[in-house]
Structure 1
């Protein structure tokens, strides 16, 4: 049996294989940021398609941290919708985690109706943006804890903290965004503190056996951003605070999903960063970024680059990709790496494969 199809464990969670559906905002949430039927159906299809661990995308931990079309996990009234999703995934034989996040400055008052919170405020941000004070940090830290408690009640098998791509927790870590001079800014140690404290408080709230995951930009590729070395040092402290597995991405929102992944050489474009993390961490590492071929996925595990293979765009195009590969149909994923699938998110609509939809319309199958 290929290594990618062997069973794996994260903390006490047993998984059928090494394939992870990397968190992707599904879009099309209902009023009050509740989970839609589309969201549930999308994730249930991935479970039936053989994905070992499905990470549901980007649930906001607080109302001002959300965005149009993005589900929330900040109120008890939202638990029921999430429970429908976890029930559907478990009925399909899958396991599911929930990624939790806050947008920070990457939202607007027009989107949420609420004042935007920034780790550090620039002069050009306007009156709709507030620089966070100690009370804001305390409230948002507790929001991450309570979001995880709700996720556990809703039946999620794990939770993933989103410390990547320029969102709030990444803003806290980034020296470019965090120019504070108090206990949560300045040195790397201080920029790590809030996130580590939030993880530790969450671990205390949910107990030792509930898997806590981390997604982190291993480096930002911009001057003044997070470096590979700083990201690793931060991750070590997050692991010490209670993280059980780490997904290594890179870059900021808008440039994380590279175009034109049309050769083996272009696949797994975060492999060097993942290998560096795996060499220096005591917990499993998930590699995301441009995986399109079963052979490449297998090589990443055999060569010790990572422990898990994370996919997003290929599973938007082919929810049953993993079962297809396992059955012996090992052609590379259908995904053309055009990023057309993400365009509906700009208006809060559902994420779909634009190439596949165009073909279905042409063939009259929609």
Structure 2
């Protein structure tokens, strides 16, 4: 059997293979940031399609940190909807985690109805943006912990903290976004502290056996952004605080989901960064970004670049991709890496593969 389909464990959680569905904003959210039938059907299809661990998300931990196209888990009333999703996955034999996030400055009052919170405010931000004070940090830290507790109650098998792609926890870590001079910013150690404390408090709240993961920018690829060395040092501190596995991503804007991945040498575009983490961490590493063929996935695992392969866009087009590869059909993923799947989010529609839908409509 290929290494891709070996069983493994994250903390006490047993997984059937080495494939992870990377957290993806789904759209089609019900009023109150509630889970919809689209989410339930999507997650169930991924479980039936053979994905070892599905990561649902991003899911907001507080109202001002959310957006119209993402679900929330900041209210006990939202637990029931999430429970329907996790039940559907478990009935299909799958495992599902939840990605917790807060937008920070990456939103607007027009979208959320709330004052926007920024780690640091500058002259480019309007009057609806507030620079966070100590009380704001305390409240949001507690919101992450409470959201994790609700997630466990809702039946999620693990929790992932989103520390990538410019969202709030990434803003705290980034020297470009965090220009504070108090206990929450300045040195790398101070930029790490809030996140470490939040992870440690979550670990205490959910117990020692519940898997906690992070998705983190290995590099921002911009001037004054997070560097590879600083990201690794931060990650070591997060592992010490209670993290069980690390999903290695990187970049902002167009660097996140690259287009034109049409050759094997363009795949796994965070390979160098993942290998750097893998060499120095004591917990499993998950690589995300551009894997489209089973040969590349297998080589990443065999070469010990990473322990797991994380996919998003290919699984939007083919939720049964993993079972197809396992059956012996080793054709590369259908995904054209055009990013058209994410355009529906701008209108609140469900994420879908526009290429496949267009083909279906022509037949």
Instruction: Classify the TM-score, shorter chain.
Output: over 0.9
| 1:46 positional shift | 0.1
- Residue 348 of structure 1: how far off its partner (Å): 2.1
Q: Secondary structure at the match of 2:73?
A: coil
- Give the match for residue 33 of structure 2: 33
Structure 1: where are the runs of 5+ without partners?
A: none
For 1:149-188, what aligned pairs fall within 5 Å after superposition?
149-188=149-188
Aligned partners of 1:99 and 1:162 also within 8 Å: yes
| Alpha-carbon distance in structure 2 between the residues aligned to 1:205 and 1:299 | 38
Equivalenced residue count is 363
Alpha-carbon offset, residue 195 of structure 1: 0.3
Task: List per-residue Cα deviations over 1:221-255 (Å, max 9, x = no partner).
Answer: 00000000000000000000000000000001443
CA distance in 2, matches of 1:184, 1:348: 35
Q: CA RMSD in A?
A: 0.5
Distance 1:184 1:344 in 2: 37
Q: In the alignment, what sits opposite 2:113?
A: 113
Cross-structure match for 1:348 = 348
State the Cα distance separating 1:75 from its structure 2 match: 0.3
Residues 70 and 348 in structure 1, CA contact (< 8 A), matched pair in contact too: no
CA distance in 1, matches of 2:253, 2:23: 14
- Is the 1:19–1:309 contact (alpha carbons within 8 Å) kept by the matching residues of 2? yes
Report the counterpart of residue 14 of structure 1 in structure 2: 14
Find the counterpart in structure 1 of residue 78 from structure 2: 78
Which residue does the alignment assign to 2:312? 312
Match of 2:208 in 1: 208
TM-score, normalised with respect to structure 1: 0.99
Give the Cα–Cα distance (whole angstroms) in 2 for the partners of residues 198 and 32 of structure 1.
Answer: 25
Residue number in structure 2 paired with 1:220: 220
Larger mean Cα displacement after TM superposition, 6-15 or 344-353: 344-353
3-state SS of the aligned residue for 1:201?
helix
Query: For each residue in 1:183-241, what CA deviation from the matched residue of structure 2 results, as whole angstroms up to 9, or x when unmatched?
Result: 01000000000000000000000000000000000000000000000000000000000
Q: Contact 1:101/1:162 (CA < 8 Å) preserved in 2?
A: yes
Q: Deviations over 1:252-311 (max 9, x none)?
A: 144300001000000000000000000010000000000000011000000000000000
What whole-Å deviation, never above 9, does each CA across 1:60-100 have from its counterpart, x for those lacking one?
Answer: 00000001121001000000000000000001110000000
Distance in 1 (CA, whole Å) between partners of 2:355 and 2:50 is 23
Alpha carbons 1:68, 1:347 under 8 Å: kept: no
TM-score (norm 2): 0.99
For residues 152 and 319 of structure 2, what CA distance do their matches in structure 1 show? 25
Please state whether the residue corresponding to 1:33 is helix, strand or coil: coil
Q: Which residue does 2:360 correspond to in 1?
A: 360
Matched, 1:280 2:280: yes
Task: Give the aligned partner of residue 237 of structure 1.
Answer: 237
Within 1, Cα distance between the matches of 2:347 and 2:120? 28
2:135 is aligned to 135
Return the offset for 1:126.
1.1
Q: 2:126 and 2:355 mapped to 1: Cα distance?
A: 40
Question: Do 1:30 and 1:69's aligned partners in 2 also have CA atoms closer than 8 Å?
Answer: no
C-alpha distance in structure 1 between counterparts of 2:13 and 2:357, whole Å: 35
Output the CA distance in 2 between the equivalents of 1:165 and 1:124.
Answer: 20
Distance 2:223 2:269 in 1: 20
For 2:52, the equivalent position in structure 1 comes to 52
Determine the C-alpha separation between the residues in 1 that align with 2:259 and 2:358: 19
Asked if 1:266 is matched to 2:266, the reply is: yes
1:310-341 Cα distance to aligned partner (Å, 9 max, x none): 00000000000000000011100000000000
CA distance in 1, matches of 2:137, 2:347: 29
Q: Answer yes or no: is the 8 Å Cα contact 1:98–1:160 preserved in 2.
A: yes
CA distance in 2, matches of 1:44, 1:117: 35
